[in-house]
Structures are given as C-alpha cells and as structure tokens.
Amino acid sequence: MTSAKRETKYVFVTGGVSSSLGKGLTAASLGRLLKLRGLKVTMGKLDPYLNVDPGTMNPGEHGEVFVTDDGGETDLDLGHYERFIDEPLTKLSNTTTGAVYSSVIAKERKGEYLGKTVQVIPHITNEIKERISRLGAQGADVVIIEIGGTVGDIEIIPFIESIRQFRHQVGKENVCYTHLTLVPFLGGSKEHKSKPTQHSVAELRSMGIQPDVIVCRSDQQVSHDMKHKISMFCDVATSAVISAIDAGSLYDIPLLLHEEGLDAIVCETLGIDLDEYPIDLALWEKVSQQAHSASKPIRIGLVGKYVTMPDAYLSVYESILHAGFGSGCRIEVQQIDAELVPSTFSAEFLDQLDGIIIPGGFGERGIEGMIEAARIARERGIPTLGICLGMQVMVIETARNQISMTDANSTEFNSSTPFPVIDLMSDQVNVTDKGGTMRLGAYPAMLEAGSIVSGLYDAPVVSERHRHRYEFNSRFKDQFEAVGMVCSGLSPDGRLVEFVELNNHPYFVGTQAHPEFKSRPDRPHPLFSGLVAASIKRSDARENRIFNIDTLQAGS
C-alpha cells in the first residue's frame, strides 16, 4: 500500500527595518539546506513594484534581469535561488504587483467576476494566493517565497494579507513565517540593540502575522542574552532567533545559518522529521572551501555599459567566480566603463589583463568602446568571451577591420548601415510593447564538431537562455568564415548563428545567449571555464613581467 503524498510546505520570508539586508540570500541558503536534507525545493518572489516584470527596467537602477528557461524576465534574486538550490525556475516564480493587477483587470473585463465590485480583498489577495498555489502544485516538498520590500511599506500590504490568509487555507502546520530584521551593533555603547527588531515584529504582528523564526542580521554575532531578549519581546522560542552575521563569501551563508539551526527550526515548525531527512553538508562544504582556497590571482576585465551598478552584471560576476573555484584561481574583476575605452582604459591597460568579458546590454551608449576593446583583444591575443551584445560587437569589429566593411554596424545603432552584420530577424516587426520582438528563454544550438565550443561543452547539441532582439546576419556568414571567424553553433534550422569563434586566437568566443544564467558554484559554465583556462595560460606566460595595473593610464 502506497503512503499518502506529503502536503506541500510553505516558508514565507519577510524583511523589516531596512532593505538590502539579504532576504534573497537567506531564502536561497535555506533552500539549499533543505535540499541537502533530501527535500525537493522550489522558490519564488513576490515583488511590490507596478511593472509587470523587470524586462523594461533600467539595469543601471534595478540590476540585471534574470531569464528562466520558459522565457520569464524576472528579478535578479531568482538568480540567487537557482545558483543555490540548483533547480530551474519558471515564470511562476516571479510575481509583481503589476502582474497581479493586470491579471485581475483582464478577468474583470472578461466578466469573470460576474459584475461584482472588484476590490483588493478578496480579488487581489485571491489572485496572489492562486499564484502561490500554482507554484506549490509543481510537486515540491517545500516552497520558499520571499516578499520584496520591508514590512511597513504600503506597497506590500496586499502580499502580507495574502500570506496571512494562506496559512488558514493550507493549515497552520504547513506554513512557516520567517522574518529577517536588523540588529545593529552600536560602537559607542558596544552592544547590540533589539529595538528595531521589536518594532519590525510589532508591525508584522499588527498585520496578523506572528513570525515563527526571526533571522537577525548584524555585523557581529548576536549573543545568547540578546537572543533571549528578542525571544521574550517578540514571542518566539530562543532557538528560533537566528544570528546571521556578515560572511566572507556568499557561499558560506548556508553553513553559517545551519550552525545557527535555521533549517532545523524551520523543519520543526513544518513538522518535517529531522531523522527522516538528515543533512549532508559535504557538497556545500567543498564549495565554501574552494571559495576561500583559491590563491593564484587572475585579472579579468569586464567591459560594460552599467559597471557603476554591480548588480547589473550579477550573474556574470558569479559565473566567473565559479570558474575560478574550479581552477583554484582567485578572480579579480576589473570594471571597465565602455565609454572610457580607450580614453582612460588604453590598449596598454587592457593588455595587462589576463582575460576580458564583454557582456550584454541594450542601446548605443558605450558601443564604440566595446568595439575598440574587442579590437585590442583580438589583435593582442587577450582571451575574450562575448555575451549577447558582446558577441555582436566582436562581429562588428571583425567586419570593420578584417573584412574591410568600414561602416559595418548593427541596425540597432545605425539603421542605414551599408553592412548590417547584426540585424533583426526577417519575421520580426517593431511594436510598441518593448518585449514584443525579444527572443526569450531556452533555445537549442547545434555545435560544429571540432570547434572550441563543442570541446568545452563536450556535446553536439546544447540549450542556452536568450534575451535579445538582434541577430548575426547570416548572409555575411561566408565572408566572416573566410577571415577565420567561424560560426560554430547554429539553431537547428541553420538560420540563426548562436556561437562564433576566431581561429588562431587563444580564446575569442562569442555567444548570442546568456550562459551566465546556468552557471552553478559546484558546476561552472563551460564558456567561463574556457575563458579562465585561457587566461591562466596567458598569466603563466607572462609571470616574469611585473606591473601595477592601477598605475596604467591612457596613452601610457
């Protein structure tokens, strides 16, 4: 006789006092700990902004847009979730206020509410609960959902009310409320202060939610006495007050939270038997150890448009670090503003790097600097990985300087260029909805046997995630291959170029996709591993050269 299927459990992670305390990383770390116990975990985020999704938001302000296999343009926290729990997420994992209201209004227009007055309660809250339930219906043992913003923000009130109601809907035993808050350490008095936490929890309780677990963010370990005080004033068990101190690496956080007992108290709250699901930390201890044991410094320059906002390239940064873990190298990323190439970042400056990444982006700003960086990298043999727009500027540079197409360009930047080596697909049209012409989500590519990328992937067919409008113009393919730029990966119908690489170069590889979205700390992405391997060779070949990269200036 088969045993009854376990009911899906839900963990809701809220935050108080201040933004940017690390709700996403705390949620992701908890997800990894539960997965290390053998539980099937999925994750999601409820975001309070009115955009339907982050797709049209400025990465210089909001950070990167993370793309799922099914083409969801989502919040960057989903990148943390995937990297930590190593499970592919979907569009269902990201819900915004804009998406909720858009759906409710569409239903009202179709008459689905039978003429009733449409209100926040019950219609908006029901829509939110329905989306949570759909995520839970995917078969996970535990669903972890982060609520964006902080308790007290007017924007998140419908989400808080929805998760309050949700506990009644699925049963108290199936929900754990985890609240992340700030416990500041004041240097003057040399002690932690619990008042911000007390006020935050009081605010949450005034909205009908009593937290089961309180995670205390601080730069110093929260003492047992302070935990006891928070326990008394906030009505939680002392064992449910978790100290979350600053970590040396993101990948230390699960281990630190496990030492504090976070996964144990969450399992206890949800009625999950710890003896039935013992934890095996070996895999993650190895990740943490690799993050700290890397010694050989490798300098990788990131030539981008949004370098003043590190989160704009978050997955790229993490992916290059993962590749460093796998090779025992300490990656030092040099941020290079594309608009300052070559005026500030000269050819001599770039030549001192061990490798270069030219990442994705939209719009004309900084393009000529990226093209110049690609030229310098090609001519000086600097290992280079071009991602999406990065691949396109590699193609433009090669056309201009190797094929004598002086005015070659993308029609994104010059619609009247005589050599549109990058262009919209023929079946694409301009529409007012900025997402309407995008190629989004996972697409397969056939790799050319014997190519660099085929060797790196060790597979004839691969799938990568995309987010772009413009493509390599295949009618110029023969001219590129004649000068050594091989189109080494094509769509199954042969129409779209997915990978290019340059012969007789240490590593000059471009992909139309975004491989950074599939890199994992214990499984680096092959394209980033290839870049690091080539960069190590370049570094080894120049080991006797002594220089200080910070002193190199334009024209030096």
Q: How far apart are CA 510 and CA 488, in angstroms?
A: 10
Partners of residue 145 on adjacent β-strands: 12, 44
The residue assigned the tokens 């963010």 is 217
**Residues 422 and 392: beta-carbon distance below 8 Å:** yes
Q: What angle do CA 15, 274, 224 make, to 5 degrees?
A: 50
Work out the angle between the directed axes of helices 389-402 and 367-380 (0-180°, nearest 10). 70
Q: How far apart are CA 425 and CA 447, in angstroms?
A: 21
Q: How far apart are CA 27 and CA 521, in angstroms?
A: 17
What are the catalytic residues? 388, 514, 516
Give, in order, the Cα–Cα distances in Å from 488 to each of 453, 460, 469: 7, 11, 20
Neighbours of 364 (CB within 10 A): 12
CA 436 to chain centre: 23
- Position 372, amino acid: E
Please choose, from the candidates 373, 357, 352, 350, the residue with its C-alpha nearest in 3D space to the C-alpha of residue 323: 357
Give, in order, the Cα–Cα distances in Å from 532 to each of 259, 285, 359, 526: 33, 23, 16, 10
Q: How far apart are CA 357 and CA 298, in angstroms?
A: 13
Please choose, from the candidates 120, 175, 136, the residue with its C-alpha nearest in 3D space to the C-alpha of residue 41: 136
Tokens of 264: 């144990």
Using DSSP bridges, classify how beta strands 142-147 and 9-15 pair: parallel, antiparallel or unpaired. parallel
**Residues 548 and 541: beta-carbon distance below 8 Å:** no
Q: Is 420 helix (H, G, I), strand (E, B) or coil?
A: strand
